[in-house]
Structure 1
Amino acid sequence: MTVPTAPCVAAIVVAAGRGLRAGGEMPKQWSPLAGRRVLDWTIAAFDRQPEVAEIIVVLHPDDMALAETLSSTTPLRHVAGGATRDASVRSALKALSPSAVAVLIHDAARPCVSADLIAAVIRATIETGAAAPALPVTDALWTGADGRVTGTRERAGLYRAQTPQGFRPDLIVAAHAAHPGGAADDVEVARAAGHAVTIVPGEARNLKITYPDDFARAETLIKDVFMDIRTGNGYDVHRFGPGEAVILCGVEIPHDRTLQGHSDADVGMHAVTDAIYGALGDGDIGQHFPPSDPQWKGAASEIFLRHAVELATGRGYTITHMDCTLVCERPKIGPHHAAMKGKMADLMGLKEDQVSVKATTSERLGFTGREEGIAALATVTLVRA
């Protein structure tokens, strides 16, 4: 569970509308987008914000059963919405935690909101009591009727409103209680109660999905906002000792010596495993499988690799590529190259064109050149979207 840092902020995600202008057979918040649903991405935007201590999702009464399909590491609750947007917001405000110092109210149809924009609204809300993002109108404005231009309007001082809109909880609760209803957004409600609202610079990518073409734009923007690409490096060395074979990248190769280590000393697999741990920022093999623990004596290194892969997968990452270089004079790697690629691909759940296993010598220099041992270097790329 995410541990919130002061100040504690509540996020209300308004997802009770029908949104049928976007097309499809279901409301837009439940429509698929880049492998997830629109609402899933919107919740994720607030879930990764450390100041956000709770997320309240407002659902249409007909959609309440879908609440069980929503997830978040931040405490997540859901309430039934009303017949209008402001009625839905009032329903969520009643569920607010009393410890919240600010509440952000956000449209579910804006899944591309960035962490920077959320943070900026939080700061402005805490400083001034009410804040919302907006973009200045830059296009010429016309009036029209029957398909013809009937006039123009001055655009100076006009803004395109966005969400999340932030408020001090007592301020917005009282403002909603005094409002007759029918407001376009919560800024209108706050202003009707006499409160000033600070404008925070909005972002063009914080689009609101309204029409079918918006989904394609949103998918491109989602990758920019949420894509997390990590690269990890691994390095390992094992010395030679008496024996008749070595294990490299899961393949046993006949040799006049073997590699020594607490486990099976698969230097290549160890380097790849450490590369995954490195990309996750989660230590190395020695921390997860201490050599002082006798249960790992002679253990197959694929145990370690599978653990690292499962750890990455469990955190939402996909391994997209692995590159391992073995440094040795002997044994010759070429005859076993295909078997090594196949083994590593199988263990990591990758296609073989996502796996590279290669070898080089150190030109007879150093411990590998003197055939005292084998070194391995590995690089792994993880992607989370």
Structure 2
Amino acid sequence: MTQVSIVIVAAGRGSRAGEGLPKQYRKLGGKAVLRRTIESFLAIDPGFDIRCVIHPDDKALYEEATAGLNLFAPVFGGATRQESVFNGLKALEQDTDYVLVHDAARPFVTHEVVMDVIKALDAGAEAVVPGVPVADTLKKVQDGTIKHTVDRSGLYAVQTPQGFPYANLIAAHEAALGRELTDDGAVMEAFGAHVAISKGDSGNFKLTTPDDFKKAEQQTMMALGDIRTGSGYDVHRFEEGDHVWLCGVKLPFTKALKGHSDADVGLHALTDAILAALCDGDIGTHFPPSDDQWRGAPSDVFLAFARDRVLARGGQISHVGVCLVCEKPKIGPHKDAMRDRIAELLAIPASRVSVQATTTEKLGFTGREEGIAAQATATLRLPMGDN
């Protein structure tokens, strides 16, 4: 079986896209660009051997971006892209047949682009570079003046991943040490190899400028066009105690909420809202109160589970809201802390989290201060065609 390895080059310091972060760690649709790039390859073939080449200063950013992914340890890059790729190649297993080198800032790589590169290598190509024909008219400009029109016939804008037999590429990099070449196709050209062109995709663009990120956000949102809303409701009665947990925040109080877990009525309702939007049962389905392992459990475990169910389906949480219904304790002073905690648990901005509170004007069980009720809503974006 052919062993294909992917070297993802993520050691650059480029921040022209704004926000002061290297662009591969900027968020795109709630996820770091690098994570989206990795997940694109894993969706094509989970068997790919993926090695990321990163800057030594970015280790914490890398660990945050790739949390939960089963990857090899990252490789530290060099002073140039060429050195970084070489470091990545040296880290690969020697039984690698093909290596595909890809820019971390191209998160929209497709199955077709990758497989066309591999098919060309299977057919005996020494090197394969995907590209798209140049469509715009090209002008040669000097000192702000157009000198002449460039013939665009036969001109291609090249992309990544660029594919090579592993032994050929590492030998070419060894021979090119000390030279500055723009990409791995150029390294192979300098080595005397014939470089084939395969079919690229206009959607497989590289994120460089703020406009690129705007375009990428639009592309991501279009792909997540299945918009769903779910609601949840929960009630817990009071018992003796000295605090309550509400929306992940511990509030000193003269009573406690009775429940199998920590009885956080706000997080329970919100967990059910997310599961409802997924049509994936409810909190009791996944965490039955008859199971002693959940006795006294913090409710953030349940909410994190619901969050991960969304992410596992390639979706994102767009907005959540919780409304707490009680006479006491007073919720107002704690709303911001609750919003921040929910945002932290769901890995979304606090600007997408609403926490409200109301009373029933002394009516009903909440009016008699017998317990607390919570209503919640969650809006999700899932990939089109999701079941």
TM range (shorter): 0.5 to 0.7
1:168 counterpart (146, 165, 169): 165
- 1:268-283 alignment, distance < 5 Å: 276-277=274-275
- Determine whether 1:137 maps to 2:134: yes
CA–CA distance in 1 between the matches of 2:18 and 2:5? 31
Pairwise CA RMSD of aligned residues? Answer: 5.1
Return the offset for 1:295. 8.5
Q: Deviations over 1:162-197 (max 9, x none)?
A: 112122322322333344633221122234432342
Alignment equivalent of 1:15, drawn from 10, 17, 22 = 10
Which residue is 2:185 aligned to? 187
SS at match of 1:114: coil
User: What is the rounded CA distance, in whole Å, between the counterparts of 2:49 and 2:279 in structure 1?
Assistant: 26
Task: Tell me which structure has the larger Cα radius of gyration.
Answer: 1
Instruction: Please give the TM-score of this superposition, normalised by the length of structure 1.
Output: 0.60
Alignment of 1:29 with 2:26, yes or no, is: no
Match of 1:150 in 2: 147
Q: Report the TM-score, using the length of structure 2 for normalisation.
A: 0.60
Deviation, structure 1 residue 92:
1.0
1:95 aligns with 2:91: yes
Show CA shifts across 1:301-334 (max 9, x none).
xx898765331234555363689xxxxxxxxxxx
Structure 1 residues 19 and 221, CA gap change in structure 2 (3 angstroms): same
Aligned to 1:364: none
Q: Using the alignment, how far apart are the partners of 1:219 and 1:131 within structure 2?
A: 29
- Equivalent position of 1:288 in the other structure: 286
Do the aligned partners of residues 168 and 270 (structure 1) sit closer, same or farther apart at CA in structure 2, a change above 3 Å counting? same
Q: 1:250 aligns with which of 223, 226, 235?
A: 235
Alignment of 1:203-282 (within 5 A): 203-204=202-203, 206-209=205-208, 211-224=209-222, 227=224, 231=228, 249-250=234-235, 276-277=274-275
Cα offset, 1:104, TM superposition: 1.9
Equivalence map 1:316-355=2 (5 Å): 316=311, 317-318=316-317, 320=319, 351=354
- The answer to whether structure 1 residue 65 and structure 2 residue 57 are counterparts is yes
What is the one-letter code of the residue matched to 2:133?
Answer: P
1:28-48: per-residue Cα shift (whole Å, max 9, x none)? Answer: 436644466554544454455
SS where residue 206 of structure 1 aligns?
A: coil
Q: How many Å separate the matches in 1 of 2:270 and 2:305?
A: 14
Describe the shift of the 1:115–1:140 C-alpha distance in structure 2 as closer, same or farther (beyond 3 A): closer
Asked if 1 retains the 8 angstrom alpha-carbon contact of 2:106 and 2:204, the reply is no
2:111 is matched with which residue?
116
Q: Which amino acid aligns with 2:59?
A: A
Sequence identity, in percent? 31
User: Displacement, 1:213?
Assistant: 4.1
Aligned length: 314
Deviation string 1:281-308 (CA, Å, 9 cap, x unpaired) is 8666565245875889xx99xx898765
Q: 1:79 aligns with which of 75, 79, 83?
A: 75
Tell me which moved more, 79-88 or 111-120.
Answer: 111-120
Change (3 A) 1:155 1:288: same
Residues 101 and 24 of structure 1: CA distance in aligned 2, closer, same or farther (over 3 Å): same
Q: Does residue 309 of the first structure (1) align with residue 308 of the second (2)?
A: no
Give the drift of 1:154.
Answer: 1.6
Equivalent-residue separation in structure 2 for 1:142 and 1:176 (angstroms):
33
Structure 1 gaps, min length 5? 1-5, 236-247, 253-262, 264-268, 324-335, 354-377
- Cα deviations across residues 228-271 of structure 1 (Å, max 9, x unaligned)? 85648799xxxxxxxxxxxx74278xxxxxxxxxx9xxxxx999
What displacement does 1:161 show?
0.6
Residues 15/217 of structure 1: CA separation in 2 closer, same or farther (3 Å cut): same
Q: Tell me how far apart the structure 2 counterparts of residues 57 and 38 of structure 1 sit (CA, whole Å).
A: 13
Query: Amino acid of the residue matched to residue 102 of structure 2?
Result: H
- State the distance in 2 between where 1:285 and 1:154 align: 64
Separation of aligned partners in 2, 1:33 and 1:147: 36
- What is the DSSP-based 3-state SS (H/G/I as helix, E as strand, rest coil) of the residue aligned with 1:189? helix
Q: Distance in 1 between matches of 2:73 and 2:324?
A: 52
